[in-house]
Amino acid sequence: MIFGVGLIGGSVALALKKAGIAVQIIGVGRSLESLQEAKNLGVIDTLEINIQAACHAAEIILIAVPVAQTTAILQSIKPYLNANTVITDAGSTKGDVLAAAKIVLGEQFKQFVGGHPIAGAEKSGASAAKADLFQAKNVVLTPAPETSIHAVASISRLWQACGANVSEMSAQTHDSIFAAVSHLPHLLAFALVDDIASRPNAEQLFGFAASGFRDFTRIAGSHPEMWRDISLANKDALLGEINAFEEELSQIKKLLADENGAGLQILFERASTARNNWAKTQQ
Ligand code: NAD
């Protein structure tokens, strides 16, 4: 059963169907219209707005909605959860999600496994879902000390069936890593585009923007609600990353103001080598 049949929930559904392991996928959502679209696209088998009925037979419940919705969804399913159901999520932040699950689920928190697929796109909705979205991509699980090992094994199998490589870490480690390599870059992309768009000559600037601008800002086209929730949920780590980035920018500003070409070149060479080495690991 999937709450939120958008890009991520829909892609899990398609991947499981392709792998032939999901008997029946029930989609539960906020809008009947988008659920109907998911059904018409063949992403889900059944759509359900009656949560009691949907929870009744669910072996696994995947929550794939903007992270601020997690508490409300867990509250809605809690009365109908049976002892064998495993609950997981796909949210991009994990500390807030685990805290919410612990408070809402109480004794049944052991049935909850936090998860984050490190795959996605700036597109959203079931129409953007793809069966191979998680193929050879990482998925991080963040089990708590209380989490049942059977629940973790079940969610690992689910992601492996989607073609992903599964690893585990604490929610805190997860949130500090992704603040640096995902959340900060998204904020920078949003900030740059917002700055350009709000200038009086924005049309002229966009008119001449080319591939460098496109590559740097692709992720500024991402879902605003999702990124609002991620930013707020990981506020502390993200503020730390913004401070570190401001220091880096100040360093570049000073090198530039001092016309320190040698210093700029050393910094650019260091960054260029690191970027190229990283890119090789991604092939
Ligand atoms: P999406 O907008 O494509 O899909 C979200 C779906 O959730 C929509 O169908 C929406 O109608 C539904 N929804 C919203 N609130 C709901 C509620 N209260 N109850 C039921 N359904 C609800 O978004 P997405 O990209 O699939 O992201 C889903 C989650 O996955 C987010 O937590 C996001 O942080 C995480 N994630 C996204 C990416 C990415 O690149 N897009 C990558 C990894 C993880």
Secondary structure of 14-36 in HEC code, one letter for each residue: HHHHHHCCCCCCEEECCCHHHHH
C-beta of residue 2 within 8 angstroms of C-beta of residue 64:
yes
pTM equals 0.94
C-beta of residue 151 within 8 angstroms of C-beta of residue 112:
yes
Per-residue pLDDT of 187-220, as tens digits, reads 999 999 999 999 999 999 999 999 999 999 999 9
Identify any residues that bridge with 89 across adjacent strands, giving them in sequence order: 63
Number of neighbouring beta carbons within 10 Å of residue 5: 31
Domain ranges within the chain, ordered by starting residue? 2-169, 174-282
pLDDT at 120 over 90: no
Mean local confidence (pLDDT), 134-159? 98
Q: Is the CB of 7 under 6 A from ligand 1?
A: yes
Average pLDDT, the chain: 95
Q: Is the CB of 27 under 6 A from ligand 1?
A: no
Expressed in angstroms and rounded, the spacing between residue 8 Cα and the centre of ligand 1 is 7
CATH of domain 174-282: 1.10.3660.10
Contacts 24+ apart (CB under 8 A), 17-21: 17/131, 18/131, 19/161, 19/162, 19/163, 21/161
> Which listed CATH number (3.40.50.720, 3.40.47.10, 3.30.70.790, 3.30.360.10) goes with 2-169?
3.40.50.720
Expressed in angstroms and rounded, the spacing between residue 95 Cα and the centre of ligand 1 is 17
Q: Is the CB of 185 under 6 A from ligand 1?
A: no
State which ligand 1 atom lies nearest to the alpha carbon of 38.
9
Number of neighbouring beta carbons within 10 Å of residue 78: 14
Q: How far apart are CA 156 and CA 154, in angstroms?
A: 5
Look at phi and psi of residue 207 and say left if phi exceeds 0, alpha if psi is from -120 to 50, else beta: alpha
Q: Is the CB of 221 under 6 A from ligand 1?
A: no
Mean local confidence (pLDDT), 34-41? 93
pLDDT at 22 over 80: no
Residue nearest to atom 38 of ligand 1 (CA): 120
The confidence score (pLDDT) of residue 52 equals 86
Q: Is the CB of 115 under 6 A from ligand 1?
A: no
The confidence score (pLDDT) of residue 50 equals 82
The confidence score (pLDDT) of residue 56 equals 81
